[in-house]
Amino acid sequence: MNENQLDSPQQLYVALREHLRRADERDVDHARPSQLAHALQAPVRPTLETLVDALFDGDVILHWELECPMCKAHSEISNVFLTPLHEATCASCGADFRVHADQETQVTFSPHPRIRELALPAGENKAYHDALHHQYPATTVQELMTVQRFRDWAQNEPLQGNAYLEVRKMTLWFSDLTGSTALYARNGDRVPLVFPGPQLGPDVRTFDATIADLSVARMVEIGQEVIAYLREIDPDVLLNVTLKRGVNQATIRNQAGADVAFKRSPFSLMIEVHRVKGDDILIMFDMVGATVWDSDYMLAARRLGDKLRQAQQISVLTPGRMPVLFSPTGALVLGLPLMEGVDGKNVYKGISPLAGKVGETLFDDKLTLVDDPTVDGKFGSAAYDDEGVPHRRNVLIGQGKLNGFLYDLKTAAQSGVESTGNGSRGLFNQPNPAPTNLIIAPGETPLTDMITGIDEGLLVQDVLGLGQGNVLSGAFSNPIALGFKIEKGEIVGRVKDVSIAGNIYDVLQNIAAVSRESEWIYTNFNAPYILLEEMNVAGKT
């Protein structure tokens, strides 16, 4: 591979993934960043930054290793943030030594099993690795902590009470204010950010005094009302009802003159249902939330009540290919990979399956995906994003055609486009692009017509393991947590020991119907019922 081929972070990331898949197994098992950099013919620092990106994307595994200062033997430990690190004993020579983050604590990387299953047993490559350690310098925890994305994570990963990281040497870099901007330009993050100036955002309702003034006594009454409603349907259920309300305010100012503020009054109601009858265990969850008071706070309870009634009867579903109807909550299986696919950061890095395909029709024309932060009273709504950019409605997929992606200021600058107003950040983290209120647009078919048209099929309400696996690729493979058999146009009972699998970039090319009914679920996701004419359903025969 020629070095000038790796002139962008995306190309280096792609090259790393290819190397992890195809190189000699010994060269990617517990590999040092300098070793991988040599194989990729790339500088060590960009390679380390790419490995951190791959770590948080689930493509590599990070190993923490201690090097004995006496015999130079290596031993693997758990996360240094969870392990008492003040002293250790070498398993090879028996020497006791103090542990320092800048020398004895080192890091190596291996491919995640989803990228490549390593066949050799653990420790089989030790002699080979010992030889390589003399050739390639180690990367210490101290060096790893200089990578911004890892440092952002580490700030939220507290040490245990009996653990600490000891650093013996460090560099302090002082500068007066004169020329500091030029200094940062030479040594800092070289992204041509353009901060927004004063701009008028949309008129969006995000605060309601009714929520702000809601008393604890009234919240207790609401919780008791929910419990009484569900216990009337099934006296044997165990319930956990959580209500939260608050007021938060944000003010954002920047050097371009922007000065914006917005106030929110979030209210949420969460319900957990557990029912055990013999060896049958039923677990359900629902949640509603808004920043503007909605008098229909019993919506989540009614939805769970309907499911409780339908779950009384157990039905047997014969595995095979059949119609599958996804409820709004079940549609998260399809929506989550789409969220990852339209993330501008994934697009910029070249790891989104949608990268480079704007303007192409990739899905059935019944699919429209919108990110809309201008909806009154929703959790993801506000006049501005967390970088002071005015919010706007973005049609990401329109009638099957890909229109664009979600960007914050940084990824927009890197990609040569404008921010879409999707900068989102936590208290200690840099902004990243993120959806606000993600909406799969409803269709034209009544739900009753969709159900009555199914001779035998599956209704998916909830799945286990949502978000696990290679979500970015579009693949899903999930056991059904709550599903129902549809037979001759009717929901006849709950099914057990059933699972579904597929890839959204395949199954969403042929959508049989989309319901005109839709629901807000988990506060900022809105979806209709989506019927796929034929999918593979696995289960016990």
Instruction: Give the CATH number of the domain where residue 228 resides.
Output: 3.30.2290.10
Euclidean distance between CA atoms 541 and 538, whole angstroms: 9
Do residues 73 and 219 both lie within one domain?
Answer: no
Euclidean distance between CA atoms 51 and 42, whole angstroms: 12
Phi/psi of residue 143, nearest 5 degrees: -65, -40
Do residues 268 and 354 both lie within one domain?
Answer: no
Task: Output the pLDDT for position 7.
Answer: 58
Whether 538 maps to a domain, the answer reads yes
Whether 159 maps to a domain, the answer reads no
Whether 41 maps to a domain, the answer reads yes
Contacts of 52 (CB under 8 A, 6+ apart): 144, 147, 149, 150
Do residues 52 and 122 both lie within one domain?
Answer: yes
Do residues 497 and 535 both lie within one domain?
Answer: yes
Euclidean distance between CA atoms 304 and 316, whole angstroms: 22
Last residue of a domain, one of 281, 310, 339: 310
Last residue of a domain, one of 266, 283, 310: 310
Cβ 191 vs Cβ 409: under 8 Å: no
Whether 160 maps to a domain, the answer reads no
Closest to 315 measured CA to CA, from 494, 90, 516: 494
Eight-class DSSP state of 296: -
Task: Output the pLDDT for position 114.
Answer: 78
Domain total for the chain? Answer: 3
Sequence-distant contacts of 506-511: CB under 8 A, at least 24 apart: 506/474, 507/334, 507/532, 507/535, 508/334, 508/363, 508/364, 508/367, 509/362, 509/363, 509/364, 510/364, 511/363, 511/364, 511/366, 511/367
Euclidean distance between CA atoms 198 and 260, whole angstroms: 8
Task: Output the pLDDT for position 463.
Answer: 93
Do residues 74 and 107 both lie within one domain?
Answer: yes
**Tally of CA atoms within 13 A in the half-sphere of 220 that contains its CB:** 3
Do residues 303 and 418 both lie within one domain?
Answer: no
Phi/psi of residue 94, nearest 5 degrees: 80, 5
User: For the segment 131-149, what is each residue's pLDDT rounded down to a tens digit?
Assistant: 666 678 888 877 887 888 8
Whether 196 maps to a domain, the answer reads no
Do residues 251 and 394 both lie within one domain?
Answer: no
Whether 161 maps to a domain, the answer reads no
Euclidean distance between CA atoms 278 and 281, whole angstroms: 8
Whether 184 maps to a domain, the answer reads no
Task: Output the pLDDT for position 164.
Answer: 43
Do residues 419 and 535 both lie within one domain?
Answer: yes
Euclidean distance between CA atoms 478 and 484, whole angstroms: 15
Cβ 58 vs Cβ 73: under 8 Å: no
Do residues 296 and 388 both lie within one domain?
Answer: no
Phi-psi label, residue 291: left if phi above 0, alpha if psi -120 to 50, beta otherwise: alpha
User: For the segment 354-410, what is each residue's pLDDT rounded down to a tens digit?
Assistant: 999 999 999 999 999 999 999 999 999 999 999 999 999 999 999 999 999 999 999
**Tally of CA atoms within 13 A in the half-sphere of 232 that contains its CB:** 10
Q: Name the β-bridge partners of 539.
A: 498
Last residue of a domain, one of 264, 284, 310: 310
For the chain, which residues score pLDDT lower than 50? 1-5, 79-85, 101, 158-177, 184
Euclidean distance between CA atoms 457 and 532, whole angstroms: 10
Do residues 20 and 123 both lie within one domain?
Answer: yes
The domain of 420 spans 313-541
Do residues 231 and 367 both lie within one domain?
Answer: no
Count CB-CB contacts under 10 A for residue 373: 26
Whether 199 maps to a domain, the answer reads no
Do residues 520 and 540 both lie within one domain?
Answer: yes
